Amino acid sequence: MSKRTGPSNPILQNLIQELKKKSREQSINLWKRVATDLEKPTRQRRIVNLSSISRYTKENEIIVVPGKVLGAGVLEHKLTISAFQFSDGAKEKIEKAGAKIVPLLELSKENPSGKGIRIIG
């Protein structure tokens, strides 16, 4: 059995470190939870379709997906969505719906307390 080494992507490693640091500084468990989910192997990371996001959210919510957002389905209202990765189709449909894509690190700086943020997936 090989030893688990974690993500090898340097961008993802830096993101995880920054989120954990934010969590320690602010004593906010939301960012630690997102970082822990991103540390999982790629096969175990969350993958969410736009149809699920649309179904389980309301207008103007802030959503975090600790994984990837795929473009299956239609986004029916405006949201702020933050995730590690977006498929090309998902990006197009999100912009078409008038929703906003915010990188995870930027969202953690804008809203360090994590108030009003929901994790989906």
Helices (H), 27-103: 29-39, 50-56, 88-96
Q: Given this model, what pLDDT does residue 9 score? A: 86
pLDDT in tens, 78-102: 999 999 999 999 999 999 999 999 9
Domain coordinates of the chain in residue numbers? Answer: 10-119
Q: Is the pTM of this model over 0.75?
A: yes
**Topology of domain 10-119, per CATH?**
Ribosomal Protein L15; Chain: K; domain 2 (3.100.10)
Query: Which of 76, 72, 66, 102 is CA-nearest to residue 89?
Result: 72
E strands, the chain, are 46-49, 62-70, 80-86, 100-101, 117-119
pLDDT in tens, 39-66: 998 888 999 999 999 999 999 999 999 9
